Structure 1
Amino acid sequence: MKRFVLAAAAVAMSMGAANAADMARRSAMPTKAPVYVAPIYNWSGFYAGINGGGGWGNASVSGPLSTGGDFDTKGGLVGGTLGFNYQMGQFVYGLEGDIDWTNLKGSATCAVGVTCEAKNNWLGTARGRIGYAFDRFLPYVTGGLAVGDVKTSATGLGSATSTKAGWTLGGGVEAAIAGPWTAKVEYLYVDLESANAPSGSSTDFKSNIVRGGINYRF
């Protein structure tokens, strides 16, 4: 009898321990997976892309073929871009160069029976950029060298073409859109200064450029 009681007590104790362990397992809170935090976008590195847009501005011919003031110019442009960014904290420092085919032109009367046309056929810039990154969104200011041709034609008097170095200043916004691809919209003011024109005259050519672009970061 005594052995039976001891055996029953042992069985009861083992069952109680098993139930307690089972209750402990059931009462344990499930472990949640850690929340995924996307890494902050890094703008550093080389990139290349394409750009396109339009421009408007004014030109004036002075000298023997004076137009008597500014006249309007406008047209489109398209080209390619190369650049490099270096990010320090949220500040992004960069160098960017581009070369565009352009069709910016306008005309005005410059003498009795004579019409003068001023035209820009190509435009290149080499600029510095400084931006402040909001993760995948980068507003920036930019400025530097602008180089392009200015062709001035006068009815019956031929034409003159000069390659001029001037300056440019502007700003824009760029955003990361997918993987290594980014998209931008920017404005540039370009002054190609004074160029040669027929009959010893000269032409001042200034433009406002608005263009968009797609870049691929390496």
Structure 2
Amino acid sequence: MKKILLASVALFGFAGAASAADLPLRAAPPAPIVAAVPVFTWTGFYAGVNAGYGWMSDDRIVDPLFGFTGGNNDGGFVGGGQIGYNYQIGSFVVGLETDIQYADLGTRYRFNAAIPGYEEDDSSDWFGTVRARAGVAFDRALIYATGGFAYGDNANGWTVGGGLEYAFTNNLTAKVEGLYVNLDRDRDFLSPTATGGGDNTEFGVVRAGLNFKFGTY
């Protein structure tokens, strides 16, 4: 009798183990894999447009030889385009930018002694710059200083300034920038002994710009 009972227990135990082996596992499902969001970088090429206001700041003194008189501090619209490249190292960003600008600036001067009624239009219809940029990035915000070579109609010189740029998307950035430009113009009709007439053309520019950054981030 005992042998029959033991055989029955063993039979039912084996059947229970076999049934348990057929049941599905109750392990937790694997966690979903989430792709890491790429960190924004300022590194890359960009191109864009800008527009703003400029004003003349040079003061021309009276020329005792020609009896020069005239006005200054004229201002007007400034606009154009720019291309450049940035490279980010940690929080620091360095780069190079070149731009070409239309400039509705200038002053009309009158010579009322040696050449009565003669007027010279000293307007600056355009100018360009090639500048280095260096700044500090706070994620998508960039504060920078800039400076370098400036050129214009029969003139060349230098420029210095700074600005703030912000990346609204991975590819679209906007900036506000200020520049001081000093151009040394060639002397054409003034006497080499003249003490006035002023060869330098100096003006300031405040402009807003929009850039498209090539690359996905």
How high is the TM-score relative to the length of structure 1? 0.72
Secondary structure in structure 2 of the residue aligned to 1:167:
strand
Give, in angstroms, the shift of residue 97 of structure 1: 1.0
CA distance in 2, matches of 1:10, 1:77: 92
Q: Which moved more, 1:53-62 or 1:126-135?
A: 53-62
Q: Which residue of 1 aligns with 2:129?
A: 125
1:76 aligned partner, one-letter code: F
Is 1:210 aligned to residue 206 of structure 2?
A: yes
Structure 2: 5+ residue stretches without partners? none
Q: Is residue 61–residue 110 contact of structure 1 (8 Å, CA) maintained in 2?
A: no
For residue 60 of structure 1, what is the aligned residue in structure 2? Answer: 59
Structure 1 position 147 matched with structure 2 position 148: no
Shift of 1:10: 2.7
Q: Which amino acid counterpart does residue 206 of structure 1 have in structure 2? A: E
Cα distance, 1:58–1:198 mapped onto 2, change above 3 Å: farther
Richer in strand (by share): 1
Q: Relative to structure 2, which stretch is displaced further, 97-106 or 36-45?
A: 36-45
Alignment partner, residue 159 of structure 1: none
* 1:192 counterpart residue number: 183
One-letter identity of the residue aligned with 1:181:
L
Per-residue CA deviation, residues 140-177 of structure 1 (Å, 9 max, x unaligned), is 1100111123xxxxxxxxxxxxx221211111122333
RMSD (CA atoms) = 3.2
Q: Structure 1 stretch 178-187 or stretch 166-175: which is displaced more?
A: 178-187
Partner of 1:173: 164
C-alpha contact (below 8 Å) 1:127/1:144 kept by paired residues = yes
Look up the SS of the partner of 1:202 in the other structure: coil
2:130–2:148 contact (8 Å) kept in structure 1:
yes
| Residue of structure 2 in register with 1:152 after alignment | none
Length, aligned pairs only? 198
Does residue 139 of structure 2 align to residue 135 of structure 1? yes
CA distance in 1, matches of 2:81, 2:33: 44
Q: Which amino acid aligns with 1:125?
A: T
Look up the match of 2:72: 71
What TM-score results when the alignment is normalised by the length of structure 2? Answer: 0.73
